[in-house]
Amino acid sequence: MNESREASSAAAHVEPVTVRWGDVDSMGHVNNAKYFTYCESARMSYFAAIRLRESAEAATHGPALAAANLNFRRQVHWPAELDVRTRVSEIGRTSFRMEYEIVHRATAERVADGAGVVVWVDYATGRPIPLPEALKAEIRRLEGMAEPAPAP
The answer to whether residue 2 scores a pLDDT higher than 60 is no
Q: Which amino acid is at 147?
A: E
Distance CA 42, CA 37 (A): 9
Average pLDDT over residues 77-84: 97
For residue range 4-58, what is the model confidence (pLDDT) as tens digits? 444 435 799 999 999 999 999 999 999 999 999 999 999 999 999 999 999 999 9
Reported confidence tier of residue 3, pLDDT bands at 50, 70, 90: low
The confidence score (pLDDT) of residue 5 equals: 44
Give the percent of the chain with pLDDT over 70.
91
CATH of span 3-143 = 3.10.129.10
Rounded to 5°, the CA angle 44-77-41 comes to: 5
Rounded to 5°, the CA angle 91-97-99 comes to: 130
Where along the chain do its domains lie?
Answer: 3-143
The answer to whether residue 146 scores a pLDDT higher than 90 is no
pTM higher than 0.75 for the full model? Answer: yes
Which segments of the chain are extended strands (E)?
Answer: 3-4, 13-18, 61-72, 81-91, 95-104, 110-122, 127-128
Q: What is the mean pLDDT of the chain?
A: 92
